[in-house]
Amino acid sequence: MKNIRQPIVRALCVSAALLSFSGCASLSGSFPTSLKAVEQSQPVQRQLNIEKWQTANGARVLFVPSPTLPMLDMRLVFDAGSARDGDSEGIAKLTSALFAEGAADKSVDDIARGFEDLGAQFNSASYRDMAVLELRTLTDPEFFSKATDLFSVVAGQPSFPQASLQRIRQQMLIGLKREKQVPGPQVSRALNEIVFGDHPYAHDSSGTESSLLALSRTDVQAYYKTFYAAQNAVIAMTGDLTLDEAKALAEKISAALPNGERAPALPRATAATTQNVKHLPFESSQTILLLGEQSIWRGHPDWVPLYVGNQILGGGGFASILTEEVREKRGFVYGIGSGISPMAAAGPFMVQLQTANENADEALAVTLKLVSDFVKNGPTSEQLESARESIIGSFALTAAENDEIVGQLGAIGFYDLPLDYLTKFENEVRTVTVEQVREAFQRNIHPENLAIVSIGPKAPKIPADENAPDDKAAQP
Amino acid sequence: MRYLLLICLLCAGWASAAEQSPTHDFTLDNGLRVLLREDHRAPVAVLMVWYKVGSYDEAPGQTGLAHLLEHMMFRGTEKVAPGDFSRMMARFGAEENAFTSYDYTAYFEKFEVSRLPLMLELEADRMHNLTISDEDFFRERDVVMEERRQRTDDNPSAIAQEKLAALTRPGSGYASPVIGWREELLQLQPDQARNWYKKWYVPANATVVIAGDISRDEVEPLVRKYFGAVPAASAPVRLTPRLAAAPGERRAVIEVPVEVPSLYMAYNVPTLATHPEDFYALTMLSGVLDGGYSARIETKLVRGKKIVAGAGAGYDGVSRGDGLFVLSATPADGVSLQTVEAALQKELDALASTPPSQQEMARVRAGVLSGRVFGMDSLFGQAMELGQMVTLGIDWKMADAYAENLAKVTPEDVQRVAQQWLVPQRRTVGFIQKGAQQ
């Protein structure tokens, strides 16, 4: 649910209650003059009237009519991401990349010209949980049925030509080599492996050189048949269609997909019980530091307090504690942030920063201290109030455009969330308390167990755990 | 972010001004141009403030100043303490950021529409009340150094691109990276930033764009109230980028620690601002070569001969001065850069000797027409298009005529511009290959 919300968070001095805020004195008096009126306005948002049903063969469908623009966005979401790779690391990504390469009697050129002659856009992509097939087309009859016909052939009868498989695999191998030129991808891979251990989320979706070389066309065909079944699919749609038209289209698409079943639930990932540290040597001018720990999963009861708390700590961009302290006050970094991204079976808490090599020790120590202080103390009530206001105020931005709506629908369907998920989430945000945030952090985030993975010319100094007995060494 | 927008916004959403979306265009007494685009699908709006100044305008030795000033715009005014701007944005749920390019600097917010008055007031305030303390300036310069390390210094491909870009338009403001050369960045001083702000950040040199759930009746009085109070000052004279004759062929071998070699070919070509007729023909040419999975590069070089693992052609035709037509390619395993260059050259020769087919032309136009509609799904894209065109001195109504003008391009026009512009004396060829960092 990558679109569910963007930046956000925190405060300013408006009322007496907030006057302790840094810099607030300068806002006293009448500036900004528009503040009072804006404070009193109640933010509104576009109401999504989601229609949900199942097709005859069991695909789940979510639809929101959006008649203003003469276009359709359709996203098929399959439980077919790299978590389903098994021993064939990279197969989810390879399979996904082959859809445009041939289907039924159509060649790659036929498919490419077919969509492009209609001005339609086809896309396939895969992530850890999801694999998606997307179509964006005009709804004018001249284009609409041709584009959706071709889309259903591509989704339902891919031919996975051997020549294409070799070519795309070659491109993926070159992509792996290219990853080694820069520090970011390597350190992310290493962190994932440490945080997830032997869980299906541990390996990188791109696979490895040897795993890619071992993949065959038969493997891809079998993967497709198992995981691209109608019963394992969510069909998300928004655009200029009536409900009847949407129903007919969903039937057409799902009837084209293989018959099978929904993939079984993944095993839950478990959290580390000790601190793991790893450094990758690399000639770079910055050291990248990643801190991470498995925390929750999609549907976890602590999600809202963790989400709100994370906005305050490091998820809220320029208004967050980490940016304020590490970038704005110390100038150590260009970017720093924390995040919790819940997936079906896991959701790591992660902090990421990159800083000039000579500042790495200090930046790491400051960051760890900020994280553990936050877990220990929780937010102040002012911070919480601002974060709440911010999140609620930004709700209008989460599903304003068709592109965003179809993303929300795909996620709601895929993760079996209630149709009023966004409203429920908002209501929970409104009522969350300081104690709930602090307790949720203490239950799910353990600073002493955060894996620390770094890349750069020199390993950073790992600060001693200040909570450990007998250690009085104070950190800066 | 404060981040750099190096690539122009041509592509899909470009031509999306539209019949059903009323657009209002007026100018305040202090010279500020204002554009309003109504889009009532959701209670959301985007506010952008564009300034006609970019890294192109930097004096020699002061590269990076335009972008560093962009950072300083978030560091407080006479009325707003450092950091409070972003805090206010956050508190009201707005997404905010900024970007600097060669030709312009722009600031934007996206928010629930009832927040608009506050957004206008804060943008108007930082249009004339910015304060730049020495201490803040130097700390922000450190942040930009980190940004440079992150984007460029630790990425050998980016280093190579920067070196090659310096050769493409030698001796002009386009030859330096927007973020600045490291050694020059390190020497920038607070007074340079203050002078820059004073000179360029005046209403007559700016454009305000608001797109979203707004009406002119509601919004114009607010814009007048807040921005109308910004004192007038004459817009500085901005030199027109010189239009160089063909500069001669430039070839470079760049050795950097890459694992995968690549080829870069860039041609000095005209743009919409400097040569409108050829702009449309070059746009069609770019579409024929790389307008999709069915275009020539993918069909012939990636899939047919399998000479390249990936390749692309891009035409940056919206800028103040002349632009670039860039081809880049990653060889397939075991193929040399010389072979790849010859294969790309063969495709250019084919266009120069034979006009493209009508089917190819029709396909490019189909993508443009649907892109007009798809582009209207994005509020940000709509505001971006209006702001960019006005800032570059192009009539924004031309966006409406974009598809029409492309439709007038004949296959022979495409052949002619290939012959005229994609010639050796207009190109820079770079081989990026493995070696120790230079």
- Using one digit for the tens of pLDDT, what is the confidence trace for A440-463? 999 999 999 999 999 999 999 999
| CATH number reported for the structural domain that contains residue B127 in this entry | 3.30.830.10
Q: Which distant-in-sequence residues (6+ apart) come within 8 Å of A90 by Cβ? A: A82, A172, A205, A206, A207, A208, A211, A212, A215
What distance in Å separates residue A278's CA from the closest CA in chain B? Answer: 20
Query: For residue A72, is it within any domain?
Result: yes
| CATH number reported for the structural domain that contains residue A201 in this entry | 3.30.830.10
Listed residues B196, B227, B258: the one ending a domain = B227
Query: For residue A303, is it within any domain?
Result: yes
Query: For residue A318, is it within any domain?
Result: yes
Q: Tell me if B365 sits within 8 A of A117, measured CB to CB.
A: no
B354-361 long-range Cβ contacts below 8 angstroms, 24+ apart: B354/B415, B355/B410, B355/B411, B355/B412, B355/B414, B355/B415, B356/B284, B356/B288, B356/B411, B356/B414, B356/B415, B357/B411, B358/B411, B359/A117, B360/B288, B360/B295, B360/B296, B361/B284, B361/B288, B361/B409, B361/B411, B361/B414
Q: What single letter denotes the amino acid at residue A269?
A: A
What distance in Å separates residue B392's CA from the closest CA in chain A? Answer: 28
Tell me: pLDDT of A82 over 90.
yes
- The parts of chain B modelled with pLDDT lower than 50 are 1-18, 438
Average of per-residue pLDDT values in chain A: 91
Cβ contact, residue pair A401, B374, below 8 Å? no
Do B188 and B140 have their domain in common? yes
What is the average pLDDT across A459-468?
79
What distance in Å separates residue A327's CA from the closest CA in chain B? Answer: 7
Do B90 and B219 have their domain in common? yes
Q: Sort out which chain B residues have CB atoms less than 8 A from A397's CB and list them.
A: 44, 93, 95, 110-112
Do B204 and B274 have their domain in common? no
Do B77 and B161 have their domain in common? yes
Q: Sort out which chain B residues have CB atoms less than 8 A from A109's CB and list them.
A: 294, 299, 303
Query: For residue A70, is it within any domain?
Result: yes
Do B66 and B211 have their domain in common? yes
How many separate domains does chain A show? Answer: 2
Query: For residue B336, is it within any domain?
Result: yes
Query: For residue B41, is it within any domain?
Result: yes
| Residue of B4, B21, B72, B91 best to disrupt the A interface, most CBs of A under 10 A | B91
Per-residue pLDDT, A467: 54
Name the pTM for this structure. Answer: 0.92
Do B200 and B337 have their domain in common? no
Tell me: pLDDT of A21 over 70.
no
Do A292 and A241 have their domain in common? no
B257 preceded by cis ω (within 30°)?
no
> What DSSP state is assigned to residue A353?
E
Q: Mind listing the pLDDT tens digit for each residue in A92-135?
A: 999 999 999 999 999 999 999 999 999 999 999 999 999 999 99
Query: For residue A322, is it within any domain?
Result: yes
Cβ contact, residue pair A38, B377, below 8 Å? no
Alpha-helical segments (H) within A214-296? 217-227, 243-256
Bridge partner list, A78: A131, A233
> Cα angle vertex A155, ends A151, A156, to 5°?
115
Write out the residue range of the structural domain in which residue A404 sits. 277-467
What distance in Å separates residue A272's CA from the closest CA in chain B? Answer: 30
Per-residue pLDDT, A472: 40
Per-residue pLDDT, A3: 31
Give residue A181's pLDDT band: very low, low, confident or very high (50, 70, 90): very high
Do A218 and A331 have their domain in common? no
How many separate domains does chain B show? Answer: 2
Do A240 and A187 have their domain in common? yes
CA distance B182 to B150: 12
Give residue A474's pLDDT band: very low, low, confident or very high (50, 70, 90): very low
Do A202 and A60 have their domain in common? yes
Do B59 and B201 have their domain in common? yes
Least confident window among A17-26, A237-246, A417-426: A17-26
Do A217 and A283 have their domain in common? no
Per-residue pLDDT, A199: 97
Per-residue pLDDT, B413: 98
Tell me: pLDDT of A1 over 50.
no
Bridge partner list, B77: B130
Per-residue pLDDT, B240: 84
Do A305 and A196 have their domain in common? no
Query: For residue B146, is it within any domain?
Result: yes
Q: Tell me if B164 sits within 8 A of B428, measured CB to CB.
A: yes
Do A287 and A236 have their domain in common? no
Distances (CA, A) of B340 to B270, B309, B330, B346: 26, 10, 8, 10
What is the average pLDDT across A31-59?
93
Give residue A471's pLDDT band: very low, low, confident or very high (50, 70, 90): very low
Query: For residue A1, is it within any domain?
Result: no
- pLDDT above 70 covers a percentage of chain A that reads 91
Q: Sort out which chain B residues have CB atoms less than 8 A from A108's CB and list them.
A: 293, 303
> Cα angle vertex A126, ends A125, A127, to 5°?
135
Q: Mind listing the pLDDT tens digit for each residue in A192-223?
A: 999 999 999 999 999 999 999 999 999 999 99
Write out the residue range of the structural domain in which residue B347 sits. 250-355+410-434
A residues 117-146 lying closer than 8 A (beta carbon) to B? 117-121, 136-138, 143
What is the average pLDDT across A328-336?
93
Query: For residue B394, is it within any domain?
Result: no
Query: For residue A204, is it within any domain?
Result: yes
Listed residues A256, A290, A324: the one ending a domain = A256
Do A224 and A295 have their domain in common? no
Cβ contact, residue pair A117, B145, below 8 Å? no
